[in-house]
Amino acid sequence: MNITVLRLGHRPQRDKRLSTHLILCARALGATKVIYSGDEDPRLEDGIRDIAERWGGDFTIEYQSNWRKIVKKWEGNIVHLTMYGTPVEDTAPEISQHKEPLLVVVGGPKVPRDMYENASWNVSVTTQPHSEVSALAIFMYLLQGEVALRHEFPGGSIKITPSERGKSVEVSKD
């Protein structure tokens, strides 16, 4: 499944680490692209591109000042992660049956009403306030199952081999 994550309302001074963690979560769990809106942040983009280059895989980050343009022209399904939608545990299995490209929208500041109206699904990961990162991680896992934890990231210069104790890190000098 081709998954793109749209991060609404990035604010560099306030959201620097949160947006970085959200994007890294998206990449690690199988998204191939993140588009962010709000304030443009070249440092965020450079940092994510550096990680993708060193750790491998097919992943891109892009800035779009007007997130509505992305939603309007999207060819595929749109999932909006929110506290107010249908339960993720009920909805993710249905969504996984669709093979069209998937745009997963994660808000920051208050999400405008038209996002709810334009989503194919408004999906709730609990009905309680919590982190966008945890909502994305839970959704990606329930959407893909264990595959979410087993993505391959070819082409990187850093690779970790799982180990019960200690660190097994391979760094190639390409």
Domains in the chain: ranges and CATH: 3-171 (3.40.1280.10)
- Provide, rounded to the nearest whole percent, the portion of the chain with pLDDT above 90: 81
Q: Name residue 115's amino acid.
A: M
65 secondary structure, DSSP code: S
The pLDDT of residue 174: 63
Quickly count: other Cβ atoms within 10 Å of residue 61's Cβ. 22
pLDDT mean over 85-110: 94
Q: How does strand 3-10 pair with strand 33-38?
A: parallel
* Residue 37 token pair: 């809106």
The pLDDT of residue 15: 75
Instruction: Specify the higher pLDDT residue, 162 or 138.
Output: 138
Cα three-residue angle 76-80-83, rounded to 5 degrees: 160
Each residue's pLDDT tens digit, 107-126: 877 899 999 999 999 999 99
The pLDDT of residue 71: 97
